[in-house]
Structure 1
Amino acid sequence: MAVYSEEGYENAKPDVLDSEPPILEDGYALKERERQEIAVDGILKKTRRGLKPRHIQMITISGSIGTGLFVGSGAALAHGGPLSLLLGYIIIALNTWVTFNAMGEMVCYLPIDGSFILYAERYVDRSFSFALGWFFVIKGSISFANEGVAIAGLVNFWNTDINNAVWIGTSIVVMAAINFLSSKYFGEAEFHMSIFKILLIIGLILFSFITMVGGNPQHDAFGFRYWRDPGLMNEYLATGAAGRFSGFWSILISASYAFGVPDFVANTAGETKHPRRVLPRVFPLVIFRLCTFYVLGALAVGIVVPYNDKRLGLALKGAGSSPFVLAAQRMGIPGLGSVINAAVLTSALSNGVEGMFSTSRGLYGLALKGKAPKVFTVTKNGVPVMCLLWVISISLLGFMTVSKGSAVVFTWFTRMIGSNLLLIGMCFNWVYIRFNRAMKAQGKDRNKLPYKLRGQYVMSWIAMLSYGLFWITNGYSVFIKGKWNYQTFLFSYLSIAFISIPYIGHRLYSRNWSFKPLSEVDLDTGLAEVEALEEFDRKQPLPTGRWAKFDRWLWG
């Protein structure tokens, strides 16, 4: 083992192949916790651990809640009715909870840069990691480009005189500026931005409750009236029981898009302070709060507006098609539409910031393992600057929407990756299944893991098969007689090409056609370094004041 003093560590270059971690002298240990330049998995760490529990929670919750809950839920309500909407969101919340916990077990075991991309290589194989990583980066890059377009659309709620190129360019500059901050300051900026989204969710839930008990200009305590008239479930694409089931199933699919996958929290693992201390507490809190917000939000939508309102699902300006805006207009509450639109605008900006962060870290993880050009490993102040520049360059595609002709092409870009979240959810659970089986094959005791959930192996199988079923049926409407639409078909199924082609191509290139035997899966490389950091954390006393205890209770 090597011992470094404060003076000597700056120029020291520990052997990255040495399985034993460096021992840091007490006088230098705290400073080294900030730098974290310790070799893990043969890679000298360049990013910095500056994210705190509250940063991680807000990044994950805010990043996973997009405009779908505030705006897109209106179309879902129109398809299925209030009961279908609530049941659909509850079922997908359970599926998401399983996937978050699966990722949580792996992340808490080995919280390093590259996260799920590195796990995919270790626990499955290199071709799978290559395909999943690039699939995620392509999806994230185009999704980020779409955020700028969405922000411009929200501004159109108030003003259509200024060319949308101005708003797209401004939003890209703002989101990029925040991402170029070091993780510590990025976390603070995103934390405060995300507060607006959380306040919006809580405010809309309270708005629904207050108005339903009579706190509206008409003093009409309508309660669950719309659950009785027009009813609990709507018919969609068919009549009778088949139509009601079709409406319910369409909500399951749209809800699975809305919830997303745990990529945000996975990609923060390598930049989290005291990861083994913090992450096991953060995971259960963040998924519980995320699911609670979604389920209560879905309940609120079904209360405040009937599913037969003709404006639900229409492409109105900004947040004009939000069921909450429509409800405010029905009840004669002036000005609430602008308030909601402003909050949704802040929400979209926050989503863009987090999407840029997550995508850039995914690309950085690929580069660390040689699956992307080495230039993407370049960092400055712990920030992967070249990865950020990649995402920014792709975001310029958003300017295509300014022209009607090129806007069609951009729409095709976004539609081609439409169902990618379902495939990524499948992949995440498959990686965990391999991890769990390797632990068992090698005689590892799961009871010693920092974070685990009983029955996770079986539940991950259920979640993976559920995502697969949702993907297979996510374009089911085109197979109904008279409903064929080639754009919907491509939106639903072309995403498989973005993961299968890289996978097969890498298999052919590497000439390797088999998965790693479970007995050869690497569960140990880098673990000594992580455990050394954990041991250091244990020696640091936790603050004991009332505020500190409340902070730990609130954020983990």
Structure 2
Amino acid sequence: MSEGNIAGPLDNSESCHIPFFLRSLPLIIYIHCYPTMAIGPTLGTGLFIGAGQALAVGGPGSLLLSYIILSLLTYAMTASVAEVSAHMPSHHGTLVTNGYLYLSSSVAFASTYLRWYTLALFVPYETTTAMVNLGLWKPGGAVGSRLAIITAIIIGSNFLPDKTFKASERLFTWIKIGTMVTLFVLTIALGLGGVDGHTPWGFKYWKTPGAMNVYLVRGIWGRVLAFFQCLLDGSIAFTFAPELIGHHAELSPVLGGTAILSAEIPGKVTADVLQTVVPYIMSSVAMGVMAPFNETRLTNNGTGSGFSPYLIGLKDAQVGLIPTIATVAILLSSVASGRSFLYLSSNTLCAMSEFGHAPPIFSSRNRWDVPYVAVATSSLFSVLGFISVKHSSSITNNYLLRLVSSAGFISSLVSCAVYRHFRGRLKANRITCRHTFSVQPFGTYFGMFISALLLLGGGLWGAPKGKANGPRSMRFLTSYINIGLFALLFLLHRFRDIVPIVEVERPIELDRRRWADRDEATESRPSKSQSRRRTKLDAIPENVGAFELTLGQTFEGA
């Protein structure tokens, strides 16, 4: 972009003054958001940099509209997850157990492994995003060394004692939320003229080059396709948000037992959704102010992931050291998110093992309560980030984005299926649900429709000709390979009598203690007749004070 596109750039030596209300706004918003923002630990470059691709393909109007739709999708899916969780809260319920309770064990097996490896895939996604951020800001040939250092920090921190890791997690969450809020406030300052000596450009990019881009074809259909691709690219910031919000609510340290926790979940997840999607929508507006959709740095000259719109605006405005500080903050966000996703992935694998759905060795913990075998296994996916040594980090990051996003859509569809089966079984047993969201059941239908549409339309990015983003066949394969992997996992479990899959059914405790004694990991696998039995919902008088559900072993499953 030429300097003529920015009105009145500042000289680096010129002092800038931001009004007091703008300087105090980050702290106010930050204090308000942090305590309840459920996905704060995983807030990463999907928002800071990944949204740049969405802006480039769709334009600022499409970006804002797509974030609004994705926010509605997040609320609808979270309502589905939370309604199930509120009826019978359980540790790791949204990530591991609910599929086994309300669906066939084969679907649950496929979905839990899908969630595990997808959470692990976020690690190379974050590391390659960090490479894009560093490479575009400070080009250099030491990609391998940079990757090795960042990956070592992410993996090494997950071997810290559990209490130490969680303490550092809070620190990094503060940094990330503070970065998000500060960048938004700087956008207001620059766009509306809050910085002395800077001529505001406001919403000029909504007029020139325009609010909506075209994709593949011209005219109205080109805008429709651009919006749909923008929706696909922007979804990375919302991937697994419903499951993580529900998971966060179930882990809340509420005194008084699970009955009180059950009553707390609906209000907590609603607050978490609002305090997640509102900053995201505000950020989508800010990014449309900071850069036009035809800025080549957004996609690294059309090869894939590129500069954050925030960094483009700050760099072109020439506001001293602020762009460099923002670059470092975004880099820290990428590293912190990689740490968090590896932690979630390894703990999911550990929980699967403790439930008997993975080999018992993955439940091994050291004296610091670290599931070291699960951490080491989940860390293996980080090797994919080193593809950037031979190929462009922008292209590698783009492929990983498609893998993660498509898996998130499958996971959302499974969550919808869990909800529908849960409601059906309650109705069949004449049990009243503890809490019903007003958006249901239409929210679930909306979630199923949008998730299925995005999953099936994921190959749209493979339509353009040329090899700037890699071969077209690989682009299509990347978009749909998770469907095949999910089906393969389902079939492997379905026919596990002829496939060596280790799975031990164990009783689920309802008092939120550790699920099972790890010594039980050596139990033999149950017979075929036993493995086909599933849990039953039985009514319990409410004055008993625990749940309206108990677990029996008499309900015949598919």
TM bucket, shorter chain: 0.7 to 0.9
Find the counterpart in structure 1 of residue 69 from structure 2. Answer: 91
440, 443, 450: which one aligns with 1:456: 440
CA distance in structure 2 between the aligned counterparts of 1:527 and 1:174, rounded to whole angstroms:
52
Instruction: Tell me which moved more, 53-62 or 488-497.
Output: 53-62
CA distance in structure 1 between the aligned counterparts of 2:385 and 2:97, rounded to whole angstroms:
31
CA distance in structure 1 between the aligned counterparts of 2:539 and 2:475, rounded to whole angstroms:
45
Instruction: Report the 3-state secondary structure (helix = DSSP H, G, I; strand = E; otherwise coil) of the residue aligned with 1:456.
Output: coil
Q: CA deviation at 1:345?
A: 1.0
183, 189, 193: which one aligns with 1:204: 183
- 1:434 correspondence with 2:421: yes
Superposed, 1:77-156 pairs within 5 Å as 77-108=55-86, 109-113=88-92, 115-156=94-135
Seen in structure 2, the aligned counterparts of structure 1 residues 182 and 465 have a Cα distance that, compared at 3 Å, is farther
CA distance in structure 2 between the aligned counterparts of 1:184 and 1:317, rounded to whole angstroms:
41
8 Å contact from structure 2 (residues 49, 309) kept in 1: yes
CA distance in structure 1 between the aligned counterparts of 2:205 and 2:109, rounded to whole angstroms:
49
Q: CA deviation at 1:318?
A: 13
| Code of the aligned partner of 1:388 | V
Find the counterpart in structure 2 of residue 394 from structure 1. Answer: 381
- 1:226 correspondence with 2:205: yes
Q: CA deviation at 1:532?
A: 6.1
Find the counterpart in structure 2 of residue 191 from structure 1. Answer: 170
8 Å contact from structure 2 (residues 412, 448) kept in 1: yes
Superposed, 1:14-413 pairs within 5 Å as 57-58=36-37, 60-63=39-42, 65-108=43-86, 109-113=88-92, 115-156=94-135, 163-181=142-160, 183-216=162-195, 219-261=198-240, 262-268=242-248, 271-274=251-254, 276-277=260-261, 279-314=265-300, 321-380=307-366, 381-403=368-390
Instruction: Tell me which moved more, 169-178 or 294-303.
Output: 169-178
Seen in structure 2, the aligned counterparts of structure 1 residues 230 and 133 have a Cα distance that, compared at 3 Å, is same
Instruction: Tell me which moved more, 285-294 or 301-310.
Output: 301-310
Q: CA deviation at 1:526?
A: 13
CA distance in structure 1 between the aligned counterparts of 2:363 and 2:235, rounded to whole angstroms:
33
CA distance in structure 1 between the aligned counterparts of 2:139 and 2:455, rounded to whole angstroms:
37
Seen in structure 2, the aligned counterparts of structure 1 residues 523 and 378 have a Cα distance that, compared at 3 Å, is farther
- 1:486 correspondence with 2:470: no
- 1:499 correspondence with 2:499: no
CA distance in structure 1 between the aligned counterparts of 2:172 and 2:396, rounded to whole angstroms:
32
Seen in structure 2, the aligned counterparts of structure 1 residues 339 and 319 have a Cα distance that, compared at 3 Å, is farther
Work out the number of aligned pairs and report it: 474
Find the counterpart in structure 2 of residue 522 from structure 1. Answer: 536
Q: Using structure 2 for the length normalisation, give the TM-score.
A: 0.75
- Over the matched positions of the two proteins, sequence identity in percent amounts to 25
8 Å contact from structure 2 (residues 150, 335) kept in 1: yes
Q: Using structure 1 for the length normalisation, give the TM-score.
A: 0.75
| Code of the aligned partner of 2:473 | Y
Q: CA deviation at 1:139?
A: 1.7
8 Å contact from structure 2 (residues 85, 250) kept in 1: no
Q: CA deviation at 1:392?
A: 2.3
Deviations 1:253-305 (A, max 9, x none): 11222211233344556754227546444312211111011100101111222
| Code of the aligned partner of 1:263 | E
CA distance in structure 1 between the aligned counterparts of 2:193 and 2:341, rounded to whole angstroms:
40
| Code of the aligned partner of 1:142 | L
CA distance in structure 2 between the aligned counterparts of 1:408 and 1:304, rounded to whole angstroms:
24
Q: CA deviation at 1:471?
A: 0.9
Seen in structure 2, the aligned counterparts of structure 1 residues 493 and 334 have a Cα distance that, compared at 3 Å, is same
CA distance in structure 2 between the aligned counterparts of 1:185 and 1:532, rounded to whole angstroms:
34
8 Å contact from structure 1 (residues 123, 431) kept in 2: yes
| Code of the aligned partner of 1:459 | G
Seen in structure 2, the aligned counterparts of structure 1 residues 394 and 531 have a Cα distance that, compared at 3 Å, is farther
Seen in structure 2, the aligned counterparts of structure 1 residues 491 and 246 have a Cα distance that, compared at 3 Å, is same
CA distance in structure 2 between the aligned counterparts of 1:148 and 1:161, rounded to whole angstroms:
16
Instruction: Report the 3-state secondary structure (helix = DSSP H, G, I; strand = E; otherwise coil) of the residue aligned with 1:306.
Output: coil
Seen in structure 2, the aligned counterparts of structure 1 residues 317 and 209 have a Cα distance that, compared at 3 Å, is farther
Deviations 1:339-397 (A, max 9, x none): 12111111111211210121112212322332211111223444433211211233244
| Code of the aligned partner of 1:209 | I
Seen in structure 2, the aligned counterparts of structure 1 residues 385 and 58 have a Cα distance that, compared at 3 Å, is farther
CA distance in structure 1 between the aligned counterparts of 2:310 and 2:195, rounded to whole angstroms:
13
CA distance in structure 2 between the aligned counterparts of 1:443 and 1:183, rounded to whole angstroms:
43
Q: CA deviation at 1:500?
A: 0.6
Instruction: Report the 3-state secondary structure (helix = DSSP H, G, I; strand = E; otherwise coil) of the residue aligned with 2:172.
Output: helix
CA distance in structure 2 between the aligned counterparts of 1:54 and 1:211, rounded to whole angstroms:
23
Seen in structure 2, the aligned counterparts of structure 1 residues 531 and 364 have a Cα distance that, compared at 3 Å, is farther
Seen in structure 2, the aligned counterparts of structure 1 residues 164 and 399 have a Cα distance that, compared at 3 Å, is same
Instruction: Report the 3-state secondary structure (helix = DSSP H, G, I; strand = E; otherwise coil) of the residue aligned with 2:351.
Output: helix
Instruction: Report the 3-state secondary structure (helix = DSSP H, G, I; strand = E; otherwise coil) of the residue aligned with 2:441.
Output: helix
Seen in structure 2, the aligned counterparts of structure 1 residues 477 and 194 have a Cα distance that, compared at 3 Å, is closer
| Code of the aligned partner of 2:457 | T
8 Å contact from structure 2 (residues 353, 362) kept in 1: yes
Find the counterpart in structure 2 of residue 25 from structure 1. Answer: none
| Code of the aligned partner of 1:472 | L
Seen in structure 2, the aligned counterparts of structure 1 residues 125 and 280 have a Cα distance that, compared at 3 Å, is same
